[in-house]
């Protein structure tokens, strides 16, 4: 039953993304992301996560975005995790050949919860729901203005992970596949209640008990505020995980 639900949800999301691709005015882009992910575990229930992500265009290596997330997690149950976080983003121009170099700051508190299911000894399925409160600096396309625009963004991600290694291994090899759908709401949202859909494939390789590296491919399809213009992005991502634990005497 669980596997059938997984395939049904994935099929619906993929169909929705494919339907949107039938629209015109699609900008195709290639990018690479380099991410550092630090996780500090205080106890079996509490952990602190920090992510620094540098996103660049492949075409000329221009910066597309720098984004930083910090979030504290609390494990309510072995299968249920809740988190509070804050994101700081500096959005550079959305096109690699842009002539106006306007950088738009954003402050984004968020809340999320994740429910995980072990469907076998090696395969885990998780559902993550996140709510973003987005405060984006006002601008006229050329310069920043006073104040912020505000909108809400609702995010749902379904992810499957498969561990190829023995359970006790300190350097596991883990395959990941996920699909995340994002929707907008708010007074400033008129034509793009659909925000974006992200499909991800990746492999994480443990290097030691504290470090791991992940290589992956992300397909990002996004509707712009005009409602008739879209981004279709191929993204190649490398992540370095740095995991630390508190020492209890």
Closest Cα partner for 62 from 85, 18, 32, 21?
32
pLDDT tier, 1 (very low <50, low <70, confident <90, very high otherwise): very low
- CATH number of the domain to which 206 belongs: 2.40.160.40
CA separation for the pair 107, 148 (Å, rounded)? 9
pLDDT confidence tier of residue 117, bands split at 50, 70 and 90:
very high
Yes or no: say if 16 and 197 are a contact pair by the CB < 8 Å rule: yes
pLDDT at 174 over 90: yes
Q: Is the pLDDT of residue 68 over 90?
A: yes
DSSP state of 2: H
The fraction of the chain above a pLDDT of 70, given in percent, is 90
Confidence category of residue 7, pLDDT binned at 50, 70, 90: low
Domain range holding 126?
A: 2-245
- Within 13 Å and on the Cβ side, how many CA atoms surround 38? 7
Least confident of 71-75, 82-86, 185-189, 213-217: 185-189
Domain count for the chain, please give it: 1
User: Exposed e or buried b for every residue in 121-133, given b needs 16+ CB within 10 A?
Assistant: eebbbbbbebebb
Q: Please say if the pLDDT value at position 6 is more than 90.
A: no
Token pair listed for 202? 């990746």
pLDDT tens for each residue of 217-242 = 999 999 999 999 999 999 999 999 99
Q: 3-state class of 4 per DSSP?
A: helix
CB contact at 8 A, 128 and 111? no
Q: What angle do CA 213, 201, 231 make, to 5 degrees?
A: 115
Strand 230-245 with 26-41, pairing: parallel
The structure's pTM equals 0.90
């Amino acid at each position: 039953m669980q596997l059938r639900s997984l395939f049904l949800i994935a099929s619906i999301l993929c169909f929705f993304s494919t339907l949107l691709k039938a629209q015109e005015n699609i900008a195709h882009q290639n990018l690479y992301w380099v991410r550092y992910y630090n996780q500090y575990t205080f106890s079996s229930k509490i952990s602190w996560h920090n992510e620094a992500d540098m996103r660049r265009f492949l075409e000329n290596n221009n910066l597309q975005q720098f984004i930083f997330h910090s979030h504290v997690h609390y494990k309510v149950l072995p299968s249920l995790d809740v988190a509070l976080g804050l994101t700081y983003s500096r959005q550079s121009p959305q096109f690699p050949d842009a002539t106006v170099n306007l950088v738009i700051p954003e402050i984004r508190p968020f809340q999320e919860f994740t429910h995980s299911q072990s469907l076998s000894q090696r395969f885990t399925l998780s559902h993550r729901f996140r709510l973003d409160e987005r405060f984006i600096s006002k601008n006229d396309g050329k310069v920043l203005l006073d104040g912020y625009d505000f909108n809400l963004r609702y995010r749902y991600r379904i992810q499957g992970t498969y561990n190829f290694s023995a359970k006790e291994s300190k350097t596991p090899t883990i395959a990941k596949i996920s699909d995340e759908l994002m929707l907008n709401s708010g007074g400033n949202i008129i034509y793009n209640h659909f925000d974006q859909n992200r499909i991800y494939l990746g492999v994480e390789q443990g290097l030691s008990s504290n470090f791991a590296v992940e290589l992956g491919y992300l397909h990002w399809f996004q509707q712009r505020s005009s409602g008739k213009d879209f981004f279709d992005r191929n993204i190649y991502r490398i992540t370095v995980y740095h995991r630390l634990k508190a020492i209890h005497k």
